[in-house]
Amino acid sequence: MSKYIFITGGVVSSVGKGITAASIGTILKSRQITVSVQKLDPYLNVDPGTMSPYQHGEVFVTQDGAETDLDLGNYERFIDVNLTAESNVTSGQIYSAVIAKERRGDFLGGTIQVVPHVTNEIKERFKRLAQKSQAEVVIIEVGGTVGDIEGQPFLEAIRQMRNDVGRDNVLYIHVTLLPYLTSTQELKTKPTQHSVNELRRIGIQPDIIICRSDYPISEGIRDKISQFCDVDKQAVIPLPTVSTIYEVPLVLEEEGLGQLIVDKLSLKPRQTDLSQWQELVRCLKEPREPVNIALVGKYVELKDSYFSVREALCHAALYYNRDINLIWVHSEDLERDGSEALLRSAQGIIVPGGFGVRGIEGMIKAASYARNNEIPYLGLCLGMHVMVIEFARYALGSTKPNSTEFDSSTPYPVIYLLPEQREIENKGGTMRLGNYPCQLVDGSHAANAYGDSLVYERHRHRFEFNNEFRNLLQEAGMVYSGLSPDGRLVEVCELANHPWMVSCQFHPEFGSRPGHPHPLFRDFIGVSKKILREGAQPPLLPT
């Protein structure tokens, strides 16, 4: 039977609860303990697929096609597993399921209530993941902070689990923030005490408290939290801010968290091996020569919108012992200020995914700049649409080619909706989602990168390359280097007369892991690092 670790958050959100949950996965996995992870999101949306990136950050896509919280990306990268739809549960899913059961008559005669019907449905999801994954430990992160109205049924469900599966099989970890007061120059524990009180009020006594802070945490502070929150002193774990998220598992292990979890859950003691992780962090902390990469997007004000893209770039750069100097370019600024001003120092240009017409012309300018100046370009989903539109405008000598997503009456719809997508009216969960196969063409940049001919990659889009324009663009120099195995869909395209201009209809960023960069990102950085731009020249050797 699986054991459960429930992670709650207190004081404020965004203190790194997701990274902490992922890191606990890393330290358990380093002891050869099998783990699975689940994120509970208390909002009423069924999934984040219809939410604006400004609200939610990136939408992470699992191989089986679920649109999920970006924390799942961190779990995958930290634990090196491919998760499934079961790993993200929202209130929207829970209530839909309960109401569907009620309509079916499953509860005939009963009054449907939050306790027990909603809480039973939630617990059902915990057990389903445990059953399916057969993991020794299931780590479950409750989104939001204790005290949120929407979170109450989730907290009640995790409280009940202690009785359902037995005390030795459940562990509660609370992650809080210790704010620093500049006037008195001290860290304050009171908000932590309050959030622990709030947890206790609903019947949960945390076993372990992880304290986030931007400053070192003294023994005195640990004593105080231990005493006021009734937690063993060694179970008050300090987690000061570190320079790279990948260091968090090492800090937690150093503070004894791995052993504490093994003891408290009565797991079999096993040898820990975090050597690969230590090596990764050592390399990340060394000064490395940067590669200037411009990320041209429309949501750049909120960096979390491109979380996996950023991580994938970092993994790829590390492969060459390089760092990424990411130049954030708002595509609307490109429309106003011109390409040279904003892209002058870029050694490579990346155009990631996105939806809607805003900022599209700026992205097209970026693709045109990359093509004309032989700057390496990587287009991800929308970035491929942009590259195709730009190339069609050049090949046809017209400004009219477009995607029907942005101009429904264009005479040259080079990107369009597939006939089977046209009848779909519901917006949620109706895109082409998850893993699909892609056959690569020998000798292409894409095939060279993968070193393979058949690959599976994650998709999230409605619009596709329009095959009516295949020949025309091919004659002008476009290469279709990846196709669906039936040859119907263009999955990867690249330019023949360019050092490296490659775009894909899928999202390779979701598959990149520290230590295993995604092949397309790796080769993109591999060529970009050789490009010399203004401000990026190597220093002159002393004479």
The letter for the amino acid at 351 is: V
Site for ligand GLN in 402-421 (CB under 6 A): 405
- The reply on whether position 460 binds ligand GLN by CB under 6 A is yes
Place of tokens 């196709």: 483
| Cβ distance to ligand GLN smaller for residue 225 or 392 | 392
CA distance 514 to 280: 8
Place of tokens 């670790």: 5
Count residues near ligand GLN (CB under 6 A). 10
Catalytic: which of 445, 459, 498, 507? 507
CA distance 341 to 359: 17
User: CA-CA-CA-CA torsion for 389, 390, 396, 399, nearest 10 degrees?
Assistant: 90
- The answer for residues whose C-beta is within 8 angstroms of residue 259's C-beta and 6 or more apart is none
- The reply on whether position 350 binds ligand GLN by CB under 6 A is no
CA distance 344 to 326: 13
- The reply on whether position 381 binds ligand GLN by CB under 6 A is yes
Whether the CB-CB separation of 138 and 2 falls below 8 Å is answered with yes
- The reply on whether position 529 binds ligand GLN by CB under 6 A is no
Q: Minimum distance between the CB of residue 480 and ligand GLN, rounded to whole angstroms?
A: 18
- The reply on whether position 294 binds ligand GLN by CB under 6 A is no
- The reply on whether position 353 binds ligand GLN by CB under 6 A is yes
User: If you ran DSSP here, which 8-state letter would residue 302 be given?
Assistant: S
Q: Which stretch binds ligand GLN (CB under 6 A): 9-17, 270-278, 322-330, 457-465?
A: 457-465
Q: Minimum distance between the CB of residue 380 and ligand GLN, rounded to whole angstroms?
A: 7
507 is catalytic: yes
Catalytic: which of 314, 381, 438, 504? 381
**180 SS3 class:** strand
Q: Minimum distance between the CB of residue 309 and ligand GLN, rounded to whole angstroms?
A: 11
Q: Which stretch binds ligand GLN (CB under 6 A): 172-180, 350-358, 442-450, 510-518?
A: 350-358
Q: Which of residues 43, 406, 416, 463 is near ligand GLN by CB under 6 A? A: 463
Site for ligand GLN in 158-187 (CB under 6 A): none
C-beta neighbour count of 20 within 10 angstroms: 25
CA distance 334 to 360: 10
124 is catalytic: no
| Cβ distance to ligand GLN smaller for residue 212 or 460 | 460
| Cβ distance to ligand GLN smaller for residue 123 or 458 | 458
Whether the CB-CB separation of 310 and 326 falls below 8 Å is answered with yes
The letter for the amino acid at 427 is: K
- The reply on whether position 461 binds ligand GLN by CB under 6 A is yes
Using Cβ positions, the residue closest to ligand GLN within the complex turns out to be 353
Instruction: Name the β-bridge partners of 85.
Output: none
- The reply on whether position 358 binds ligand GLN by CB under 6 A is no
User: If you ran DSSP here, which 8-state letter would residue 490 be given?
Assistant: E
Q: Which of residues 127, 224, 344, 462 is near ligand GLN by CB under 6 A? A: 462
- The reply on whether position 86 binds ligand GLN by CB under 6 A is no
Q: Minimum distance between the CB of residue 352 and ligand GLN, rounded to whole angstroms?
A: 7
User: If you ran DSSP here, which 8-state letter would residue 49 be given?
Assistant: G
Q: Which stretch binds ligand GLN (CB under 6 A): 63-71, 93-101, 288-296, 353-361?
A: 353-361
- The reply on whether position 39 binds ligand GLN by CB under 6 A is no
Site for ligand GLN in 298-317 (CB under 6 A): none
Query: Burial, 286: exposed, middle or buried (Cβ in 10 Å; 0-12, 13-18, 19+)?
Result: exposed
- The reply on whether position 354 binds ligand GLN by CB under 6 A is yes
Q: Minimum distance between the CB of residue 353 and ligand GLN, rounded to whole angstroms?
A: 3
Q: Which stretch binds ligand GLN (CB under 6 A): 70-78, 86-94, 247-255, 347-355?
A: 347-355
CA distance 25 to 22: 5
CA distance 495 to 458: 23
DSSP annotation string for 422-481: HT----TT-SEEEEEEEEEPTTSHHHHHHTSSEEEEEEEESEEE-GGGHHHHHHHTEEEE
136 is catalytic: no
What are the tokens at 489?
A: 């869909």
Q: Which residues bind ligand GLN (CB under 6 A)?
A: 353-355, 381-382, 405, 460-463
Active site residues: 381, 507, 509
